[in-house]
Amino acid sequence: MNQPAKPAFDPMDVPARIGSSYPSQFQDGCEQREKRQLGDFGGLVNFGVNLTTVPPGQGSALRHWHTMQDEFVFIVTGELTLITDAGEQILTPGMCAAFPKNKPDAHCLVNRTNAPASYLEIGDRTPGDQVAYPGLDLRVDWVDGDHQFQKKDGTPY
């Protein structure tokens, strides 16, 4: 990904990654999600910033929580339903949500409307992070800046 010559850039100049990197059996519901890695494009190394667009009927991710990484989302357009262990909340433009590290309250965003919705997703890049997916035989270990999908017993996918 080429970094822009100047610090300011149009997010639409950042190539979109469609779908998720989940193993094939976990793709359903996120396969049309669009993510633009703004932080990487801008040359950031300590934290990531993504502009994520969720089409109608799709989700941001599988419900998950991180052991070492804080996450923050800010709704830019549309309406998304935040699902956590505490229940559901409707998020609209200007609203935000914070997910502190090592708090086992799994979260995801789902678009239950008829229009696309987008949000900024901000997270740090703490080495050694693990991601838990309650109710699924899935976990992620971050090793050398890359994620490795495994079953809960450590068997790779």
User: Would you say residue 146 has pLDDT above 90?
Assistant: no
Class for the domain spanning 11-130: mainly beta
* pLDDT tens-digit series, residues 91-114: 999 999 999 999 999 999 999 999
Residue 145 carries which DSSP code? T
Helix (H, G, I), strand (E, B) or coil at 24: helix
Domain ranges within the chain, ordered by starting residue = 11-130
Q: What is the pTM of this model?
A: 0.92
Percent of the chain with pLDDT strictly greater than 70: 99
Quote the pLDDT of residue 95.
Answer: 98
Quote the pLDDT of residue 20.
Answer: 94
Specify which residues 109 forms β-bridges with.
82
Helix (H, G, I), strand (E, B) or coil at 27: coil
Cα separation, 22 vs 28, in Å, equals 9
User: Would you say residue 6 has pLDDT above 90?
Assistant: no
Structure tokens that stand for 55 in this block: 């089409």
Please check whether residue 17 is in contact with residue 37, taking contact to mean a CB–CB distance below 8 angstroms. Answer: yes
Please check whether residue 118 is in contact with residue 54, taking contact to mean a CB–CB distance below 8 angstroms. Answer: yes
